[in-house]
């Protein structure tokens, strides 16, 4: 066979991460309340399924918004033939309007700067292609979204330099940590082209304060590098403090700030719960980036049918206002249900106010405070408790024992099943610790044998090269 490309044969996609291994465990044995009640519950998927009823209701009341209905079929030919990579003007206007509403109406967006991409994955890669070359690097505060390694580096050849953050200050990014990471990168002859942050944070579920954002803008301005802010969870804020967008910050800073180096990533996958529509947006203040990004978007356009439907939906101010308010209420309720349920069994989580997940601390359950200890506990949660939660090490967290838990991708009944499993698991551990030394020694040896067999099993069926029934790679 002829030699394949470096992209085809390298392993920078990141599919060999425990983050994706958890997906494979779920795909092999998915939970169903009646057909497979002992299956794995998917808690590693950041989907927002709490407001589909509102979208369904809107669609039923607005059949002409779809070109595939009797009421909308007259527009079928024009929409089916539309392929301008600028996008439908009414779609870009609707997206700009929704982005403003998702940020409390405190900032406006220019539809002429809205660049389309195939989901947030495509948007992140597109902006990377525009501002960095192979071998360049981005500073990224950790813990960070595991698929950033794929999105930012797999095809572009760009590196990630983690900026380590710690639980001692709730994993907040500091100017000192940035300076240290930047200095070490420069000493290693790494060309740092920018800083990439997520706000609200994935996996922390927290928002950045205005003064922190101002400090970051000042940092990139002083070093003449880019700032890319992933704001795809902007409308998932469910309690104070309110979300502050980077666009709001730079508009209130002095005129010496170089806006050409500031770029925003957005999507409708999280805020609207529409990941399958593959709506990704790059919003840049740099004219050259907008122009280049539009040309590059030819490789990942949003279908004209999707644009047409969403233009009608997002231009309905009454619907959008109600949707955003109701989504926030439902997310708050679900977050409260989960975290309060965990507190009853002694499990604490980082206090958060946004996102579709929380950052759970299981450090006290680790056999040893190491990466190996975290992996052992994670395998037990996957294989015995049958919950797919994502270990902190896959988010480049330097402190073992943290796990990201997604809470908005299931119904209320499944939430209770998941909580019951966690309670049973923790209570069983407490009972084991109080049993006789002889019995504990037997269980310890039995557990070690179980893990040995599991590791062999995982190596054979959870290999990143193994085919799986339903690929998680796009959905991730």
Whether residues 90 and 180 fall in one domain:
yes
Whether residues 106 and 193 fall in one domain:
yes
pLDDT at 469: 35
Contacts of 431 (CB under 8 A, 6+ apart): none
Whether residues 397 and 429 fall in one domain:
yes
pLDDT at 460: 31
Kindly report the CA angle at 88 between 83 and 93, in degrees rounded to 5?
160
Which residue range(s) make up the domain with 403? 7-50+328-461
267-308: pLDDT as tens digits = 999 999 999 999 999 999 999 999 999 999 888 889 999 999
- Compute the distance between CA of residue 465 and CA of residue 128 in angstroms, rounded to an integer: 27
Helix H or strand E segment including 416: helix 412-433
pLDDT at 301: 87
CATH number at residue 69: 3.40.640.10
Contacts of 437 (CB under 8 A, 6+ apart): none
Question: What pTM does this model have?
Answer: 0.87
- Compute the distance between CA of residue 427 and CA of residue 438 in angstroms, rounded to an integer: 20
Whether residues 90 and 209 fall in one domain:
yes
Whether residues 292 and 333 fall in one domain:
no
- Domain assignment present for 469: no
168-194: pLDDT as tens digits = 999 999 999 999 999 999 999 999 999
Domain boundary among 273, 301, 319: 319
CATH number at residue 19: 3.90.1150.10
Whether residues 179 and 296 fall in one domain:
yes
- Domain assignment present for 109: yes
Closest CA to 264 of 93, 110, 94, 143: 110
Domain boundary among 319, 351, 366: 319
Whether residues 70 and 103 fall in one domain:
yes
- Domain assignment present for 397: yes
Two tokens at 341? 């349920």
**130 close to 296: Cβ distance less than 8 angstroms:** yes
pLDDT at 79: 83
**Active-site residue list:** 145, 230, 232, 270
**Could you list the mean pLDDT of each consecutive 10-residue stretch along the chain, which spans 476 residues?**
85 78 90 95 94 96 90 86 84 96 94 95 96 97 93 92 96 95 96 97 97 96 97 96 95 88 97 93 97 91 91 96 97 96 94 97 94 94 95 95 96 95 82 50 36 32 33 32
- Compute the distance between CA of residue 115 and CA of residue 117 in angstroms, rounded to an integer: 7
Whether residues 23 and 58 fall in one domain:
no
Number of domains in the chain: 2
């Amino acid at each position: 066979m002829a030699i394949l490309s470096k992209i085809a044969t390298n392993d920078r996609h990141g599919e060999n991460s425990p983050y994706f291994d958890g997906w494979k465990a779920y795909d092999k044995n998915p939970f169903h309340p009646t057909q497979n009640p002992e299956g794995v519950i998917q808690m590693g998927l950041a989907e927002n399924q709490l407001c589909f009823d509102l979208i369904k209701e809107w669609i039923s009341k607005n059949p002409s918004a779809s070109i595939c209905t009797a009421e909308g079929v007259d527009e079928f030919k024009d929409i089916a033939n539309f392929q301008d990579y600028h996008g439908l003007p009414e779609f870009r206007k609707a997206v700009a309007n929704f982005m403003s509403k998702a940020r409390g109406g405190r900032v406006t967006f220019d539809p002429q700067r809205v660049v389309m991409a195939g989901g947030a994955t495509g948007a992140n890669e597109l902006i990377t292609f525009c501002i960095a070359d192979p071998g360049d690097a981005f500073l990224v505060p950790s813990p960070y979204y595991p698929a950033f390694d794929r999105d930012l580096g797999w095809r572009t050849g760009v590196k990630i330099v983690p900026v380590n953050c710690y639980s001692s200050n709730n994993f907040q990014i500091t100017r000192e940590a940035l300076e240290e990471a930047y200095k070490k990168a420069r000493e290693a002859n790494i060309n740092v082209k920018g800083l990439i942050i997520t706000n609200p944070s994935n996996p922390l579920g927290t928002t950045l304060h205005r003064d922190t954002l101002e400090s970051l803008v000042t940092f990139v301005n002083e070093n003449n590098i880019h700032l890319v802010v992933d704001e795809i969870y902007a409308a998932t804020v469910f309690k104070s403090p309110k979300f502050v967008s980077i666009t709001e910050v730079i508009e209130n800073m002095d005129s010496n700030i170089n806006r050409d180096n500031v770029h925003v990533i957005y999507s409708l996958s999280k805020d609207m719960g529409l990941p399958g529509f593959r709506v990704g947006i790059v919003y840049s203040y740099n004219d050259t980036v907008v122009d280049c990004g539009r040309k590059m978007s030819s490789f990942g356009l949003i279908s004209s049918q999707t644009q047409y439907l969403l233009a009608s939906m997002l231009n309905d101010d009454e619907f959008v206002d109600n949707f955003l308010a109701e989504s926030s209420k439902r997310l708050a309720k679900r977050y409260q249900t989960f975290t309060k349920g965990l507190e009853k069994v002694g499990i604490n989580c980082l206090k958060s106010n946004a996102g579709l997940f929380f950052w759970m601390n299981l450090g006290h359950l680790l056999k040893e405070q190491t990466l190996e200890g975290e992996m052992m506990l994670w395998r037990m949660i996957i294989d015995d408790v049958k919950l797919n939660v994502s270990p902190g090490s896959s988010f480049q967290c330097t402190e073992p024992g943290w796990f990201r838990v997604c809470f908005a991708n299931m119904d209320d009944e499944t939430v209770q099943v998941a909580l019951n499993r966690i309670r049973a698991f923790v209570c069983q551990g407490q009972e084991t610790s109080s049993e006789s030394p002889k019995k504990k020694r037997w269980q310890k040896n039995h557990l070690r044998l179980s893990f040995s067999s599991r590791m062999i099993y995982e190596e054979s069926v959870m290999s990143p090269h193994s085919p799986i029934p339903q690929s998680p790679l796009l959905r991730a």
